[in-house]
């Protein structure tokens, strides 16, 4: 696939989370490419893209204008036929994009953070289920962007805190952090103005007794808070740190992180004074819950996809392991995620022995060249027999010299069965189940090649014709004629070796190639067929229908230009046998 155009993507575009989401979306929807953009309303910059190569254009035009609102999920079945979209920047830059779907990424405040886009080079549609999944994936991307924005904001605040004590104090007052100073001996505790303001209290509305402070702690957290403080008082911990809920002036609860340390002790080691901080972490807890929900949704999505999503890592020393597998591993390999994650070698006993070397070699090539991994192979599962699997993955080199693959394995057993059935259909005569003429000629060409390669190898061709076959059809009908053909084919097959081949050449004519056999051996074979046919007449009701055959035999000659040359000689010998009275064997 040729690149649409080029774009220098910032280093953060390599963020594995966005790359993974793009790969998941592309795999789920089966589209040419998936990209995530970020930026303001009018211009969008590509954050990550899976399925295309980019190198130098800086932006993609506004995605909202073509359909009048960035809150609407846009699905353009064919961009070339959509008047609103025909002149859009993306279509102009990438003229072979036909299908486009875009979903806005909104932040918690409703602001546009970017877009999640699906691109394909063929027209298509999204059904209601696909649109729902598309919106869920867009929400995941929006959550990650919002979390990133929050993280950036907090990091900037932390940098400001380090500049000086004065600036740190100002920053603490404005960032939801308060200071407290506790006299352990007297039971007094004093709070900073910022501490009180954080909970909505005025300066005079908070007392200085420790007993009162405990009344503001959420009842479900109180024992945990007291036990943590006691552990530090008894010097079982170096510091006091606990996350808990605390009641605000309006009766609501905030999540806070309280940290402190005893700074004075008496001669017996009993605590005298303790200083600490309390920080409002409500937003962080909310974000953490959303991240957890996002992670659970990602897991649910990968687990619901038929097949197995995986992450496979190879260390520089050659050892490897599955760092992630979805729940589909149970259907694909009959293992639990824990079993496969614990040992990649567990697969060696499952993959068919004839395919295991190819399986191992394919990963070696992918790791060496960093080329996509693709393989069709068989597995053996207890109680299910031999099944087919198809694996696809993309490798990425790691800084330590290792390789990381993200990929997908699916069950292709049904497809392989259909392919096998089609192969049989294309090579087999429906009536007799012998090779059809075309397939038999391929087998004959292969035998001629063996004769030409080795002076010690010989082979013979026999042409058979059922005598008086027309009279059978005339007297008993074509259905009995078909029975006669099948009857002869069964007798013929019973005498063949694994190295021989037989085919129906048309009508009542059959051909056999005997590998590593001379004329005399071929004649003996033909006599055996005549004898078996005479001893086993066709039964039709109470009637016994005797069948006879004429046979022409020739040897395959290394000087034969084609297999047709040898077949023609056996056909001439057959003609001589029929002309000489039928039920005869003639050799060329």
Residue 150, H or E segment: helix 128-161
Count of CB atoms within 10 A of residue 475's CB? 11
Tokens 């546009």 locate to: 112
Is the separation of the CB atoms in 199 and 250 below 8 Å? no
Closest CA to 39 of 22, 54, 61: 61
Selecting among 508, 532, 535, 586, the annotated active-site residue is: 508
- CA distances 85 to 80, 82, 101, 208, Å, are 8, 5, 12, 67
Q: Which residues, in sequence order, are bridge partners of residue 390?
A: 376, 410
Q: Please state, in angstroms and rounded to a whole number, the distance separating the CA atoms of residues 565 and 445.
A: 11
Task: Please tell me the distance from the alpha carbon of residue 245 to that of residue 224, in angstroms, as a whole number.
Answer: 11
User: Which two tokens mark 475?
Assistant: 């007297």
CA distance 481 to 251: 96
Of the candidates 254, 228, 252, the residue with the CA atom closest to the CA atom of residue 242: 228
Tokens of 121: 């080079």
Question: Do residues 177 and 278 make contact, with C-beta atoms less than 8 angstroms apart?
Answer: yes
Beta strands (DSSP E) in 541-587 are 543-545, 549-555, 585-587
Query: How big is the chain, counted in residues?
Result: 588
Give how far Cα 475 sits from Cα of 469, 471, 472, 478, 545, Å: 10, 6, 5, 9, 11
Handedness of CA 81, 87, 91, 96 (dihedral sign): positive
Give the Å distances, CA to CA, from 489 to 422, 430, 511. Answer: 22, 12, 11
Tokens of 145: 């962007």
Q: Which two tokens stand for residue 542?
A: 């109470």
Query: Cα–Cα distance between 445 and 232 in angstroms, integer?
Result: 89
Say if CB 124 and CB 132 are below 8 A apart: no
Give 346: exposed, middle or buried? Use CB within 10 Å, 0-12, 13-18, 19+. Answer: middle
Helix ranges restricted to H, 199-271: 210-216, 219-233
User: Beta partners for 190?
Assistant: 181
Active site residue 508: yes
Q: Which residues are catalytic?
A: 508
């Amino acid at each position: 696939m040729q690149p649409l155009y080029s774009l220098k993507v910032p280093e953060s575009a390599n963020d594995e989370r966005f790359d993974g989401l793009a790969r998941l979306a592309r795999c789920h929807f089966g589209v040419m490419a998936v990209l995530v953009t970020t930026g303001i309303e009018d211009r969008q910059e590509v954050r990550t893209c899976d399925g295309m190569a980019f190198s130098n254009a800086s932006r993609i035009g506004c995605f909202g204008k073509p359909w009048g609102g960035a809150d609407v999920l846009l699905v353009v079945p064919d961009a070339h036929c959509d008047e609103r979209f025909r002149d859009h920047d993306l279509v102009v830059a990438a003229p072979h994009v036909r299908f486009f779907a875009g979903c806005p990424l909104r932040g918690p405040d409703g602001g546009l953070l970017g877009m999640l886009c699906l691109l394909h080079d063929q027209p298509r549609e999204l059904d209601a289920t696909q649109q729902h999944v598309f919106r869920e994936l867009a929400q995941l991307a929006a959550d990650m962007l919002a979390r990133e924005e929050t993280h950036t904001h907090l990091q900037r605040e932390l940098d400001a805190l380090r500049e000086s004590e004065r600036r740190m104090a100002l920053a603490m007052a404005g960032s939801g952090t308060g200071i407290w100073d506790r006299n352990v001996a007297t039971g007094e505790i004093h709070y900073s103005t910022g501490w009180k303001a954080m909970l909505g209290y005025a300066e005079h509305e908070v007392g200085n007794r420790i007993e009162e402070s405990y009344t503001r702690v959420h009842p479900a957290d109180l024992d945990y808070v007291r036990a943590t403080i006691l552990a530090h008082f008894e010097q079982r911990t170096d510091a006091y740190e606990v996350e808990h809920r605390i009641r605000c002036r309006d009766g609501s609860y905030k999540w806070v992180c309280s940290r402190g340390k005893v700074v004075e002790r008496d001669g017996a080691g009993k605590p005298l004074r303790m200083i600490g901080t309390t920080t409002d972490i409500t937003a962080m807890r909310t974000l953490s819950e959303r991240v957890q929900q996002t992670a659970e949704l990602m897991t649910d999505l990968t687990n619901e996809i038929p097949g197995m999503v995986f992450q496979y890592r190879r260390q520089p020393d050659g050892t490897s392991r599955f760092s992630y597998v979805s729940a589909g591993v149970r259907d694909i390999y009959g293992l639990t995620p824990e079993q496969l994650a614990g040992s990649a070698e567990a697969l060696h006993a499952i993959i068919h022995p004839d395919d295991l070397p190819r399986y191992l070699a394919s990963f070696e090539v992918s790791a060496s060249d960093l080329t996509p991994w693709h393989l069709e192979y068989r597995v053996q599962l207890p109680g299910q027999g031999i099944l087919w699997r198809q694996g696809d993955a993309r490798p990425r080199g790691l800084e330590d010299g290792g390789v990381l693959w993200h990929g997908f394995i699916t069950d292709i057993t049904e497809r392989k069965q259909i392919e096998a059935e089609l192969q049989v259909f294309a090579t087999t005569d429906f009536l007799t189940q012998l090779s059809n003429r075309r397939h038999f000629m391929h087998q004959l060409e292969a035998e001629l090649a063996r004769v030409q390669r080795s002076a010690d190898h010989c082979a013979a061709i026999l042409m058979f014709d059922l005598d008086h076959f027309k009279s059978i059809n005339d007297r008993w009908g074509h259905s009995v004629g078909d029975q006669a053909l099948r009857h002869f084919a069964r007798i013929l097959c019973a005498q063949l070796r694994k190295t021989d081949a037989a085919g129906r050449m048309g009508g009542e004519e059959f051909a056999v190639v005997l590998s590593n056999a001379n004329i005399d051996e071929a004649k003996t074979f033909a006599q055996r067929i005549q004898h078996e046919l005479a001893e086993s007449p066709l039964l039709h009701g109470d009637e016994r229908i005797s069948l006879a055959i004429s046979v022409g035999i020739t040897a395959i000659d290394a000087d034969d230009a084609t297999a047709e040359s040898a077949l023609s000689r056996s056909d001439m010998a057959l003609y001589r046998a029929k002309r000489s009275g039928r039920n005869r064997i003639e050799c060329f």
